[in-house]
Amino acid sequence: MLLKILWRNALRHRLRTSLTVAGMVVAILSFGLLRTVIDAWYAGVAASAANRLVTRNAISLIFPLPLSYAAQIRAVDGVRLVALGNWFGAYYQDPKNFFANFAVSADSYLAMYPELVFPEADKAAFMRDRKGAAVGAKLATRFGWKLGQTIVLTGTIFPGNWEFTLRAIYKGRDRTVDETMFILHWDYLNETMKEQSPHRADQVGFFMIEVNDSTRAAGIAQAIDARFANSRAETLTETEKAFQLGFVAMSEAIILAIRAVSFVVIAIILAVVANTMAMSVRERRREYAVLKTLGFTGTQIAGLIFGESLVITALGGALGIALTFPAAQAFKAAVGQFFPIFNVSRETILLDAAVSLTVGLLAAAAPAYTAARVRVAQALRKLG
Amino acid sequence: MAEAPLIIIKDVVKSYRRGNQTLPVLTDIDLTVPRGAFLALMGPSGSGKSTLLNLIAGLDAPDSGEIVVDGLTVSDLTESDLARWRAVHVGFIFQFYNLIPVLTALENVELPLLLSGLSRRQRREHAENALALVGLSDRLDHYPAELSGGQQQRVSIARAVVSDPTLIVADEPTGDLDRNSAEDVLNLMERLNLELGKTIVMVTHDPHAARRARTMIYLDKGVLSDAPQNPLA
Ligand SMILES: Nc1ncnc2c1ncn2[C@@H]1O[C@H](COP(=O)(O)OP(=O)(O)O)[C@@H](O)[C@H]1O
Ligand SMILES: [Mg+2]
């Protein structure tokens, strides 16, 4: 019956309650979406493996390293596998069609990335075809590409029209894997450079290194950089995670702002719910005094108020969470090309739920305290 | 041998503080109420009738003095002990009924029984009996807003007796009712007193209501007496 009181009290001012619940829905929805955007930003970081290092030019990512470094890196103790690659930076048909495309040493690179899952036969076909391309399933779907089809990319860093035959389509091992990459053979790029602009041949944008023991990664990175210290092109080697974080760091201010906004939204809804609860409790001071008269304790009365507040925030929170999925889908459809991974994570949902609960409890705290301490004799005085 | 009185009030003093001013309300009250009494407490407005009633019912504590109800010194109890004691021993009737608007008549009457450990079925049965007693068996599912003032007051009487308390306190129970409804309410209280043996302390400033009680006492300027100091009051 106390539940009945609690529930009916919540429905007493339909409009006020509906508006508060609606506010809660919007707040949780925005909070969830903003968190998902931040997650998308960090997706590359989350997907990175602890046993992979990236070596690049110490001055900047845009300066290359000599191909000869590959053998020297391979000789460093603890290095199991070395792959190399260049950011290819081409587009398909229209410069607006942005997606990641890399020229890589295919066999070592794919060996290092078991999270890219291929049908074996297609993978072999890609390996055999120097002008072949391997792409992620989402990218293939986006442009309607089929296996065996010829794809022409327009180069920006490496000018000209580049023709590839689509040989393989990979899927991610799990949801954190980017399925929008375009992979081509570094050899093809390098041989073309040898013919067209020899000074750009045998130049590598980055080396990917797999180490035997991820706990020794830091030491191995140091050993690699030491080997090239005071050389013509010094290197900077870091874990794949640190490397990805470096990208994210460029937009850190924006992320910080988004994060701040996501909490401001929660602070606002907390104020709204707290106000609703305070108004309701003020109106019902007399009823709570009656309950006390009948022998109900302050704790029981506080429970009623916490319960009512939680009904409101749980309702709003649940609706907000439910709406986050379609909203994220719509968001992804609109700007998905910039965020290859745009998933509403379990953590976000749990955080949504935790936030709803916290708002419910905090909003009720002050009104519950007041109501629990209501002085019966005073509250029941005539006309009170 | 006479039974021990139900209520013994000794040397009770109560004052209210407003800012740094102290307003004395009850200066030195001594009163005993025998078991089974129907006592009307009269006096002009602001004389402290409600204050005294609240002290008896354990809704407030005196500054000094002692209040014993049914052998228990209620003026010594903590707030939560008082709450538990009230739930079992005291039934309340207010001037403004004070029903919970989101509960039906039946649910309002059932409410005090939530603290009693009775089963759901027993609670319902008791509540229905109490409403039958006040003649409202046909209004069980009505909400307070759907009842007249007199009917609401009868629901509140049912709520006051449902847990079978020893003592019923009523603060101006007819103050907000028309003559006929007031008559119904007074008849009911008389029955509670005579048929069910409830001890009733009723605050009123309506002489007509007071005459229905079996004893009258007057409170004026913080002092009790058996007759009004100013007969015109
Ligand atoms: N909570 C309170 N704080 C301050 N003064 C109060 C309070 N309750 C009652 N009073 C004062 O005490 C006096 C007695 O009040 P009350 O017992 O309600 O009188 P009655 O019921 O006889 O009309 C009045 O002057 C009233 O203003
Ligand atoms: Mg009064």
How do residues B222-231 score in pLDDT, each as one tens digit?
A: 778 776 655 4
Say yes or no: A147 and A274 in one domain: no
Q: Is B127 on the interface with A (CB under 8 A)?
A: no
A51: in domain: no
- The whole-number pLDDT of residue B229 equals 55
A256: in domain: yes
Cβ(B144)–Cβ(B155) below 8 Å: yes
- The whole-number pLDDT of residue B108 equals 95
A53: in domain: no
- The whole-number pLDDT of residue B227 equals 66
- The predicted model gives A94-120 an average pLDDT of 92
Nearest CA to ligand 1 atom 16: B48
Joined together, the tokens standing for residue A94 give 């229209």
Q: Is the Cα dihedral A112, A116, A121, A127 positive or negative?
A: negative
Query: What CA–CA distance (Å, rounded) separates A14 from A312?
Result: 11
Whether pLDDT at A44 is above 90 = no
A241: in domain: no
Whether pLDDT at A300 is above 70 = yes
Say yes or no: A23 and A66 in one domain: no
Query: pLDDT category, A383, cuts 50, 70, 90?
Result: very low
Whether pLDDT at A350 is above 60 = yes
Query: pLDDT category, A351, cuts 50, 70, 90?
Result: very high
Burial of residue A14, with CB atoms counted within 10 A of its CB: 0-12 exposed, 13-18 middle, 19 or more buried: exposed
Domain finish residue from A200, A233, A266: A233
- The whole-number pLDDT of residue A384 equals 35
Tell me which ligand sits closest to the C-alpha of residue B96. Answer: 2
Mean pLDDT over the full length of chain A: 90
Contact at CB, B107 and A8, closer than 8 angstroms: no
Name which residue leads in pLDDT, A189 or A333: A189
Query: What CA–CA distance (Å, rounded) separates B233 from B71?
Result: 35
Q: Is A12 on the interface with B (CB under 8 A)?
A: yes
Domain finish residue from A233, A261, A280: A233
Say yes or no: A180 and A270 in one domain: no
Range of the domain at A63: 59-233
- The predicted model gives B78-82 an average pLDDT of 87
Phi, psi (5° rounding) for residue A167? -110, -30
A17: in domain: yes
Contact at CB, A286 and B102, closer than 8 angstroms: no
Query: What CA–CA distance (Å, rounded) separates B68 from B75?
Result: 7
Interacting residues of A212 by C-beta distance below 8 A, sequence separation 6+: A51, A78, A79, A80
Counting one residue from chain A and one from chain B, the pairs whose CB atoms sit within 8 A come to 68
Say yes or no: A86 and A23 in one domain: no
pLDDT in tens, B28-40: 888 899 999 999 9
- The predicted model gives B162-179 an average pLDDT of 92
Whether pLDDT at B233 is above 50 = no
A239: in domain: no
Return the residue of B nearest to A10 by Cα: B102
- The predicted model gives A89-97 an average pLDDT of 91
Query: pLDDT category, A325, cuts 50, 70, 90?
Result: very high
Phi, psi (5° rounding) for residue A266? -70, -40
Say yes or no: A38 and A71 in one domain: no
Whether pLDDT at A244 is above 90 = no
Q: What ipTM, to 2 d.p.? A: 0.90
Interacting residues of B7 by C-beta distance below 8 A, sequence separation 6+: B31, B32, B33, B56, B67, B68, B69, B167, B199, B201
Whether pLDDT at B2 is above 70 = no
Query: What CA–CA distance (Å, rounded) separates A118 from A115?
Result: 9
- The whole-number pLDDT of residue B230 equals 53
In CATH terms, the fold of domain B36-60+76-225 is Rossmann fold (3.40.50)
- The whole-number pLDDT of residue A65 equals 94
Query: pLDDT category, A205, cuts 50, 70, 90?
Result: very high
Contact at CB, B59 and A286, closer than 8 angstroms: no
- The whole-number pLDDT of residue B1 equals 43
- The whole-number pLDDT of residue B24 equals 87
Q: Which of A111, A123, A128 is nearest to A187 (CA)?
A: A128
- The predicted model gives A216-223 an average pLDDT of 91
Contact at CB, A287 and B50, closer than 8 angstroms: no
Q: DSSP H helical segments within chain B, as ranges?
A: 49-56, 79-89, 105-110, 120-133, 149-161, 179-194, 207-211
Domain finish residue from A233, A263, A280: A233
Say yes or no: A191 and A95 in one domain: yes
pLDDT in tens, B46-71: 888 999 999 999 988 899 989 999 88
A229: in domain: yes
Chain A contact set for B92 (CB, 8 A): 293-294
Delimit the domains of chain B by residue range. Answer: 36-60+76-225
Say yes or no: A78 and A213 in one domain: yes
Q: Which of A323, A359, A356, A315 is nearest to A36 (CA)?
A: A323
Percentage of chain B modeled with pLDDT above 90: 52
Query: pLDDT category, A113, cuts 50, 70, 90?
Result: very high
Q: Is A173 on the interface with B (CB under 8 A)?
A: no
Beta bridge mates, A14? none
- The whole-number pLDDT of residue B220 equals 83
- The domain tally of chain A equals 2
- The whole-number pLDDT of residue A20 equals 94
- The whole-number pLDDT of residue A91 equals 93
Whether pLDDT at A262 is above 50 = yes
- The whole-number pLDDT of residue A272 equals 95
A52: in domain: no
Cβ(B98)–Cβ(B149) below 8 Å: no
Q: Is A292 on the interface with B (CB under 8 A)?
A: yes
Say yes or no: A217 and A335 in one domain: no
